[in-house]
Amino acid sequence: MAVYQIVKIGEDILREKAIEVKKITPNIIKLLDNMAETMYEAKGVGLAAPQVGVSKRVVVIDVGDGLLELINPMVIKKTGSEVDEEGCLSVPNKTGRVKRAAEVVLQAMDRNGEMKEYHADGFLARAMQHETDHLDGILFVDIADKIYNV
C-alpha cells in the first residue's frame, strides 16, 4: 500500500465533478486501500478520491466505528439540520461552522460491487455529506457561515 499526497485548496481537481466508477477493477481496490492508509496517516476521518488527485466517485470514512468504503455514494435522503465545526485535510489550518442535515440515508457500492444503504446521524452523517460534497467540487469553506484560522 502507499500513502498519497493530499491535494490542497487551489488545485483544479478539487473543484471538478468526479467521474462515476463504471466497473470495480483492481485499480479501484488499490485506490480504496491507499486512500484508507492515507487518511489514517493524516489523522483524518474521511477522504475523497479528488483529494488525492483522482477524479473518481470514491470515498473512505472512519469516524471511529470502522472503515467505510463508498463507491459512487449518493445521499438519497436528508432530515433535520445542525450546525457544527468542520475541518478538511485539503484546507489546512482552517475550520468552519457548517450547517448540514442531522440525519442522512446514503447508498453506495462496496468494494465487491454490492449496493449498500447506510442510515447515519451525528458525526457520521456530517462526514458522509462532507465527503460526497468533495465529489461535486464543493469544499466546506464554500458553505461555512464562519471560517476560523487554527
Q: Is 88 annotated to bind ligand?
A: yes
130 belongs to an annotated ligand binding site:
yes
Quick one: which of 122, 84, 74, 92 has its CA closest to 5? Answer: 92
CA distance 83 to 57: 26
Catalytic one of 69, 85, 114, 131: 131
SS3 content of the chain, % helix, strand, coil (to 5): 25, 35, 35
* CA atoms of 44 and 38, how far apart (whole Å): 9
Host H or E run for residue 58: strand 58-61
134 is in an annotated binding site: yes
| Strand partners for 16 | none
* Catalytic-residue membership of 82: no
- On whether the CB atoms of residues 52 and 6 are closer than 8 A, the answer is yes
How far is 136 from 129, CA to CA, in rounded Å?
11
Which residue positions form the known binding site? Answer: 88, 130, 134
Task: Give catalytic residue positions.
Answer: 131
Which residue positions form the known binding site for Fe cation? Answer: 88, 130, 134
